Amino acid sequence: MAKISVHGNIIPIVVCCSFLSLIPVPTKSQQVETLPIHTRRISERVIVAWPGDHAQTTNMIAIASERGIVVVDTESSWSVTAEIRDVFARELQRNDFVYLINTHGHTDHGGGNQVFQDAVIVAHERSPGMQVNALGSGNLERRRERLDYWLTGMSQQLESLPAEGPEALAIEERSRWVRRILTDLGPNFELTLPKVTFPDRLNIDLGDLTVRIYYFGGLHTNDHVVVHVPEEGLLMTGDILAESWIPVLSEGDDVNIPFMLANWDTILQEEDQIRHIVHGHWDLGISLLYFQQAHRYVRTLWEEVIEAHSLGTDLETVCEQLDLENRFPEFRELVHEYEGVDYHRRNIELMWALRGDESPVGYR
Ligand SMILES: [Zn+2]
């Protein structure tokens, strides 16, 4: 039996493995769009899998421990998530999935949760609310409309491209992917929310492996977590960072930057042992160097904003002090302005808006 520890309490988890036969699969009469499934073996115990060659799909990661298989993230499509689950089971020659971790509440990381109802689904405490907002019964229609809108846009793009050209093939695959997600949002879709949630850190003891989950809210989303498996030197960063961009803070007053930075410090204490960093998406990646540089960037911005606040300095002066070109030359070539938004300045402004709280919001 695996043990899960939240704030030092040990909660025993009993896992029922007979659920798999209850998962609905599309009937043969339904038109099912197919995408090739790719896998990458990171080690004896760790496999990464994703569908497609062009669509931006999600890296699903399986980690085999002596107390069961832990999976990080699902695809948007639950039926493709089921295919990948089968691939994991075949590759690892076992079917004892004990935990699924959602790195954040976006549909492309938890839209396939229903395939893992026999496992314990774990996420940050804000994730269930985000998932209800995206996929709850009152919001499904809006989701379908958005997917239809993307499909229309892509079919218009296809009309102006030479058929069989690389661009057309890529868009064609993306359209197939969106159609598959839409089909999955039919009567067999079942909103399946994380059952175990936590505010800051959570450790899962799996005997020969430990899965450490850290709150990283404030980057990409306010409920984001990073998953570290020290025995494998494995870090799964979800969507918190993308190497071609400077770090981008998410909006909202419910983030806790000091907590995120404390977690970042903890992970970097073992930076020498990090051998693999897996991004949330197969077509993106980050290096350890970038992870370290991003840490210095966020920490420096936060400390100087706090200091400026205590000294009574104004926002403009802080922005000048933190000039990207001079202070972070390693980020000079990265995207920091997009569609008229200066994301470096925006990061400082978001921190400026948070700094007034001596004790961090939500984590007093
Ligand atoms: Zn994503």
The per-residue DSSP string of 224-254 comes to -EEEEEGGGTEEEEETS--TTB---BPPSS-
> How far does residue 188's CA lie from ligand 1's centre (Å)?
23
> How far does residue 108's CA lie from ligand 1's centre (Å)?
5
pLDDT score, position 32: 66
> How far does residue 344's CA lie from ligand 1's centre (Å)?
22
> How far does residue 235's CA lie from ligand 1's centre (Å)?
16
pLDDT score, position 28: 40
> How far does residue 281's CA lie from ligand 1's centre (Å)?
6
pLDDT score, position 355: 79
> How far does residue 311's CA lie from ligand 1's centre (Å)?
39
The DSSP output letter for 271 is G
Alpha-carbon distance of 67 to 204, in angstroms, equals 11
> How far does residue 107's CA lie from ligand 1's centre (Å)?
8
> How far does residue 69's CA lie from ligand 1's centre (Å)?
22
Contacts of 116 (CB under 8 A, 6+ apart): 71, 74, 81, 85, 97, 100, 192
> How far does residue 177's CA lie from ligand 1's centre (Å)?
15
DSSP states of 273-322: G--EEEESBTT----HHHHHHHHHHHHHHHHHHHHHHHHT--HHHHHHHT
> How far does residue 38's CA lie from ligand 1's centre (Å)?
18
> How far does residue 359's CA lie from ligand 1's centre (Å)?
30
> How far does residue 103's CA lie from ligand 1's centre (Å)?
9
> How far does residue 11's CA lie from ligand 1's centre (Å)?
30
Q: Tally the C-alpha atoms within 13 A of residue 269's C-alpha that lie toward its C-beta.
A: 5
> How far does residue 174's CA lie from ligand 1's centre (Å)?
15
pLDDT score, position 12: 36
Query: What pTM did the predictor assign?
Result: 0.89
> How far does residue 326's CA lie from ligand 1's centre (Å)?
32
Q: Exposed, middle or buried: residue 90 (CB in 10 Å: 0-12, 13-18, 19+)?
A: exposed
Beta-bridge partners for 210: 205
Q: Is residue 322 within 8 Å of residue 304, measured between CB atoms?
A: yes
Q: How far is CA 98 from CA 119, 199, 298, 322, in A?
A: 5, 21, 35, 46
> How far does residue 106's CA lie from ligand 1's centre (Å)?
7
Residue segments in the chain with a per-residue pLDDT below the cut of 70: 1-32, 356-364
pLDDT score, position 132: 96
> How far does residue 246's CA lie from ligand 1's centre (Å)?
17
Q: Tally the C-alpha atoms within 13 A of residue 59's C-alpha that lie toward its C-beta.
A: 23
> How far does residue 263's CA lie from ligand 1's centre (Å)?
21
The DSSP output letter for 141 is H
Closest CA to 342 of 257, 245, 261: 245
pLDDT score, position 108: 96
Structure tokens at 54: 């062009």
